[in-house]
């Protein structure tokens, strides 16, 4: 069930043209939305995606937002900027904010050993004397690896999908139901806990914790357990009360409730995936709309200007801090991204090609949320379909390049 999205597809700022990342001056303050809308419409038609939402914003207002295509082929429902869908790994941004909010006023530090907050022991059996810290989880340097077992994190929310001709049966033949899925603790214990009878080396990479950047979804699941330990509340409930509700995001949720505004997610041709959720949740199960993701982006822009409302200044300082250096990047590709494109990590937030934000990819989902720290403009981009050909991926990247260029423009006032 897990769709492994190519790093080259989602590392947008590393893929975009170099000249687009430098702030450029416009000769007018008038924003030509018609030209942008026409360009986006043309590029969208080449993606073969069923639906797309796009929003361009600064810290004060949403400058442009449009929906394209449909959220349901069967019922011909238009995809709008109010359409709700999974946003995959951009969820981690909300998780990072939730963690830092939970830490405020508490004797909890990012360099704390995670075993101080977990109901079971997590140690890389290849480095049994090394602690794994909260900071390592949020910067993807913990040495924790998703592995093939990560597929067990996905479950369907539709009981009768097996006989539905609209659903891509080939992609979901091992998908379990929510009722039969593991709990978060059960899943992470099965993946990461070392027992007397077996050593779960498949849950870790062969690098000392803290030494190497290696992306991990399971790390976000552990953060959810840590938040619950700190607050005494369910992670989803705490995040809803302290992050989602204060921003008045009425159609955003961690819950598996599928509203009438929720988009179907498409695989290939006219086939779709069943609605699904994740046991790990904090790594990719947040559901929102283009419009409300843009509101979250506005908060990030304000926070970067020391005007954020969700966290205090110290927490936002930790959120945006760059924690990695050249020693953390062991592969040629990651080392090049760090050296040439400025790739780095804050608390579940990404720096690359002059932008700050995150990308997301899951079955039927491709998403982007980035802002430019100098122009204080950003964009949110949501697709409800897989890209199945090189041409479709190129069309997606062209849209990302276009939006990257838009947020890099400086306006003369």
Q: Are 10 and 366 in contact, with CB atoms under 8 Å apart?
A: yes
Cα distances (Å, whole numbers) of residue 208 to 126, 217, 225, 238, 254: 8, 18, 23, 32, 33
β-strands 350-352, 377-383 pairing = unpaired
Q: In this structure, what token pair is assigned to residue 383?
A: 């697709």
- CA 358 from centre of chain: 6
β-strands 24-26, 409-411 pairing = parallel
pLDDT for the residue 356 = 98
The answer to the question of residue 2 being in a domain is no
Which residue shows structure tokens 């097996």?
162
The answer to the question of residue 323 being in a domain is yes
pLDDT for the residue 269 = 85
The answer to the question of residue 254 being in a domain is yes
What Rg value do the Cα atoms of the chain yield, rounded? 21
**279 vs 184: CA distance, rounded Å:** 6
Q: In this structure, what token pair is assigned to residue 77?
A: 């429902």
Closest CA to 260 of 109, 71, 67: 71
Strands of 161-264, DSSP E: 176-177
The answer to the question of residue 1 being in a domain is no
Residue count (the chain): 413
Classified as helix, coil or strand, 75 is coil
The answer to the question of residue 188 being in a domain is yes
Identify the CATH number of the domain in which residue 335 sits: 3.40.710.10
Q: In this structure, what token pair is assigned to residue 226?
A: 């840590």
pLDDT for the residue 72 = 98
Going by C-beta distance under 8 Å and a sequence separation of 6 or more, which residues neighbour residue 6? none
The domain tally of the chain equals: 1
pTM of the model: 0.93
The answer to the question of residue 205 being in a domain is yes
CB atoms within 10 A of CB 194: 18
Q: In this structure, what token pair is assigned to residue 311?
A: 């966290």
The answer to the question of residue 23 being in a domain is yes
Which residue shows structure tokens 């179907």?
264
CB atoms within 10 A of CB 257: 8
The answer to the question of residue 139 being in a domain is yes
DSSP string, 244-299: IGGGT-TT-BSS----TTBPPEE-STT-EEPPEEESS-TTT--EEEHHHHHHHHHH
Q: Are 13 and 404 in contact, with CB atoms under 8 Å apart?
A: yes
Render the burial of 269-279: b for 16+ CB within 10 Å, e for the rest.
eebbbbbbbbb
Render the burial of 372-384: b for 16+ CB within 10 Å, e for the rest.
bbebbbbbbbbbb
**230 vs 287: CA distance, rounded Å:** 24
pLDDT for the residue 200 = 60
Q: Are 1 and 175 in contact, with CB atoms under 8 Å apart?
A: yes
**Residue 99 belongs to domain spanning:** 7-411
Per-residue model confidence as pLDDT tens for the chain (413 residues) = 444 443 444 554 444 444 444 554 443 334 578 999 999 999 999 999 999 999 999 999 999 999 999 999 999 999 999 999 999 999 999 999 999 999 999 999 999 999 999 999 999 999 999 999 999 999 999 999 998 889 999 999 998 888 899 999 887 767 899 999 999 999 999 999 876 544 465 699 999 999 999 999 999 999 999 999 999 999 999 999 999 999 999 999 999 989 999 999 999 888 999 999 999 999 999 999 999 999 999 999 999 999 999 999 999 999 999 999 999 999 999 999 999 999 999 999 999 999 999 999 999 999 999 999 999 999 999 999 999 999 999 999 999 999 999 999 876 44
**54 vs 33: CA distance, rounded Å:** 12
Own/partner pairs, 126-129, CB within 8 angstroms, 24+ separation: 126/201, 126/204, 126/206, 127/208, 127/209
Of the chain, the end-to-end C-alpha distance in Å amounts to 50
Own/partner pairs, 242-245, CB within 8 angstroms, 24+ separation: 242/98, 242/101, 242/102, 242/310, 243/94, 243/97, 243/98, 243/101, 243/310, 244/94
């Amino acid at each position: 069930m897990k769709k492994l999205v190519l790093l080259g597809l989602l590392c947008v700022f590393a893929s975009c043209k170099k000249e687009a990342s430098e702030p450029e001056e416009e000769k007018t303050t008038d924003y030509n939305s018609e030209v942008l809308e026409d360009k986006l419409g043309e590029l969208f038609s080449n993606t073969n995606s069923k639906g797309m939402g796009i929003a361009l914003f600064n810290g004060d207002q949403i400058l442009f937002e449009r929906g394209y295509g449909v959220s349901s082929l069967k019922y011909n429902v238009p995809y709008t900027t109010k359409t709700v869908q999974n946003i995959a790994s951009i969820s981690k941004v909300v998780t990072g904010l939730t963690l830092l909010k939970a830490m405020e006023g508490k004797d909890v530090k990012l360099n704390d050993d995670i075993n101080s907050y977990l109901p079971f022991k997590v140690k890389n059996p290849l480095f049994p004397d090394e602690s794994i810290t909260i900071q390592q989880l949020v910067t993807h340097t913990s040495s924790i690896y998703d592995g093939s077992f990560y597929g067990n994190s996905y479950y369907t929310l539709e009981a009768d999908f097996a006989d539905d001709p609209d659903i891509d049966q080939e992609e979901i033949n091992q998908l379990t139901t929510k009722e039969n899925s593991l709990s978060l603790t059960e899943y992470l214990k099965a993946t990461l806990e070392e027992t007397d009878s077996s050593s779960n080396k498949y849950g870790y990479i062969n690098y000392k914790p803290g030494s190497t950047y290696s992306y991990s979804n399971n790390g976000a699941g552990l953060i959810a357990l840590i938040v619950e330990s700190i607050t005494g509340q369910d992670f989803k409930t705490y995040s809803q009360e302290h992050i989602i509700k204060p921003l008045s995001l009425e159609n955003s949720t961690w819950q598996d409730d599928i509203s009438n505004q929720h988009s179907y997610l498409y695989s290939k041709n006219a086939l779709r995936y069943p609605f699904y959720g994740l046991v790990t949740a904090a790594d990719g199960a947040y559901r929102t709309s283009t419009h409300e993701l843009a509101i979250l982006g506005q908060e990030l822009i304000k926070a970067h200007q020391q005007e954020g409302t969700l966290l205090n200044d110290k927490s936002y300082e930790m959120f945006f801090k760059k924690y990695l250096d050249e020693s953390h990047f062991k592969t040629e590709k990651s080392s090049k991204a760090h050296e040439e494109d400025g790739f780095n990590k804050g608390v579940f937030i990404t720096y690359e090609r002059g932008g700050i934000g995150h990308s997301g990819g899951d079955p039927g989902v491709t998403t982007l949320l980035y802002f430019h720290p100098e122009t204080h403009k950003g964009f949110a981009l949501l697709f409800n379909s897989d890209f199945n050909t090189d041409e479709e991926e190129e069309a997606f990247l062209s849209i990302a390049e276009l939006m990257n260029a838009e947020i890099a423009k400086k306006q003369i006032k």
